[in-house]
Amino acid sequence: MPESKEQTLPALWSEELLKSTLRGFRQEIDGALESILPPESQRPRKLHQAMRYSVFSGGKRLRSILVLGACELCGGKRAEALPTACAVELVHTYSLIHDDLPPLDDDDLRRGKPSSHKAFGEATAILTGDALLTLAFEIISRENPSELAGPLALELARAAGSEGMIAGQAMDMEPEGKENMDLLRYIHSHKTGSLIAVSVRMGAITARAPQKLLKKLSNYGQNLGLAFQITDDLLDVEGKAAKLGKPVRQDQEHGKLTYPSVLGLERSRTEAEKLIAKAVAELSSFGESSGFLQALARSILKRQY
């Protein structure tokens, strides 16, 4: 009955319901992050201050919300996935801090505030990223049951490492083959897609989802991740500086490869829509219970999440 689903789900998940659900998830995640991060009163104070500054800088918590949503969809309890959700958020934050550094993207602003190295200096920003990455693995291995700690740490490390997220960033800096569509897809699916995809996987793994469901959710995550990067590129070009809180068009200024620069605006938008449709299709066998993850995916196109 795919028709009835298509008719039912958007009604079940109105924009309002999605927004209020996301708000609730964010509160849970922020509360958990608050208790996980070392207090600023504790040595080394500047470092701990810098860690909190970037973690609580107004991120939308997409990745951690995906961990919670996938866990619930597979029959797990949200609370069980909360530490892992926090860990993903820490990895995401570390990657932004390091990417913003002058030798990399050299961004002075992040979410409308001075980026970490502008606020605390480059040395502290480097160490802050290192500390957040390390803390992510501390939380995963400390807060999960022993049979899950290893597999979850492995998932996260693979997705974040030199053949995952860092691979995308590293290839993005290399000058060769920028017009190559395969390379563009490689960069984006690694740089942004890996962490988004693994968020969904880790939520499912926490709920002990069987391989078949895990595979579907992995596909959902991969398509979502790539679509997310494309819409990010589109926003960048379309100059919604206020919404993003960072200078626009800087990807182009830096000679970075983006979907709009290779495919043009229209085809990029179509590509993002196709990817979201694919992502949503992967959820069909879950039925109505997947309404949240469907609505979340659709909201990516509008960047309302």
Residues that bind a second copy (CB under 8 A): 38, 42-44, 46-48, 51, 94, 98, 101, 103-104, 121-124, 126-127, 129-131, 133-135, 137-138, 140-142, 144, 146-147, 149-151, 153-154, 156-158, 160-163, 166-167, 169-171, 173-174, 186
Determine whether 167 is exposed, middle or buried from the number of CB atoms within 10 Å of its CB (0-12, 13-18, 19+).
middle
**Least Å from the CB of residue 265 to a second copy:** 29
Task: Using only the alpha carbons of the chain, give its radius of gyration.
Answer: 19
Joined together, the tokens standing for residue 210 give: 């069987």
Nearer to a second copy, 206 or 268 (CB): 206
Cβ proximity to a second copy: between 85 and 152 the closer is: 152
Indicate the residue among 53 and 220 with the shorter CB distance to a second copy: 53
- For residue 17 the two structure tokens come to 């319901």
CB of 51 to a second copy, least distance (A): 7
C-beta atoms surrounding 128 within 10 Å = 28
CB of 156 to a second copy, least distance (A): 8
Give whichever of 12 and 170 is closer to a second copy, judged by the CB atom.
170
Q: Tell me how far, at minimum, the Cβ of 65 lies from a second copy, in Å.
A: 23
What is the closest distance, in whole angstroms, from the C-beta atom of residue 48 to a second copy in the complex? 6
In angstroms, the CA 97 to CA 119 distance is 11
Nearer to a second copy, 31 or 44 (CB): 44
Complex with a second copy: residue 120 or 220, whichever CB lies closer = 120
Least CB distance to a second copy at residue 284 (A)? 33
Task: Please measure the distance between the N-terminal and C-terminal CA atoms of the chain and give it in whole angstroms.
Answer: 28
